[in-house]
């Protein structure tokens, strides 16, 4: 017999409430109840980063985060990065510009991790930036284009000249 709990949270700027199975992952809730398909089901054990979301500004693997834990939280997915008129965010555009997207399966998670990095307002050296991005598995790009997209966006946001 399943137990359900009413949760209230904010998803991509919209307040929602939903009865959820206390055993359901946040991934399942976001995909099944809100049709937010940028949240990918990859490994389902928190290793690949495909399910990454921002919760109160911090990245989490939503496959190992229970939906009931989202009560009272602000959640952002890739769908929440675009402007209301459909304009891409700077990091989304950078992924396109740097050809950092091939199959696209890992891209949403990488972009949300990049948002956390960029919103910190900090400068990260190459080694630190690579470490920050290391929680994601990408099988197509070899990471260099992704790294370059994030680095260039960081430099632009910080008003620095790009040194490569």
Q: Which residues contact 18 (CB under 8 A, 6 or more apart)?
A: 6, 7, 29, 33, 67
Please name the helix (run of DSSP H) or strand (run of DSSP E) that holds residue 53, with its range, or none.
strand 52-55
Provide the pLDDT for residue 1: 57
What is residue 109's three-state secondary structure?
A: helix
CA distance 150 to 100: 10
Phi, psi of 36 (to 5 degrees): -90, 85
Helices (H), 6-164: 26-28, 90-97, 107-119, 126-132, 144-157
CA–CA–CA angle 9, 7, 115 (5° rounding): 30
Kindly tell me the burial class for residue 42, based on how many C-beta atoms sit within 10 Å of its own C-beta (0-12, 13-18, 19 or more): buried
Provide the pLDDT for residue 131: 96
- Cα 153 to the center of its chain, rounded Å: 16
Provide the pLDDT for residue 162: 79
Instruction: Tell me the two tokens of residue 161.
Output: 């000249």
Instruction: Give the tens place of pLDDT for each residue, 37-64.
Output: 999 999 999 999 999 999 999 999 999 9
Phi, psi of 10 (to 5 degrees): -115, 125
Bridge partners, 14 (sequence order): 11
Provide the pLDDT for residue 47: 93
If you average pLDDT over every residue of the chain, what do you get?
A: 95
pLDDT over 90, % of the chain: 89
Kindly tell me the burial class for residue 64, based on how many C-beta atoms sit within 10 Å of its own C-beta (0-12, 13-18, 19 or more): middle
Provide the pLDDT for residue 44: 93
Residues (pLDDT < 70) of the chain are 1-2, 163-164
């Amino acid at each position: 017999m399943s137990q359900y709990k009413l949760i209230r949270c904010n998803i991509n700027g919209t307040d929602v409430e939903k009865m959820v199975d206390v055993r359901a992952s946040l991934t399942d809730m976001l995909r099944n109840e809100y049709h937010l398909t940028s949240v990918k089901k990859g490994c389902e054990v928190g290793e690949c980063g495909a399910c990454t979301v921002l919760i109160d500004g911090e990245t989490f693997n939503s496959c190992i985060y229970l939906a009931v834990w989202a009560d009272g939280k602000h959640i952002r997915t890739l769908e929440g990065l675009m402007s209301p008129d459909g304009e891409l965010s700077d990091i989304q555009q950078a992924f396109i510009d740097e050809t950092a997207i091939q199959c696209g399966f890992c891209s949403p998670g990488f972009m949300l991790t990049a948002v956390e990095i960029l919103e910190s307002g900090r400068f990260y050296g190459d080694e630190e930036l690579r470490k920050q991005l290391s929680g994601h598995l990408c099988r197509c790009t070899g990471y260099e284009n992704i790294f370059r997209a994030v680095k260039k966006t960081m430099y632009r946001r910080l008003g620095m000249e790009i040194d490569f």
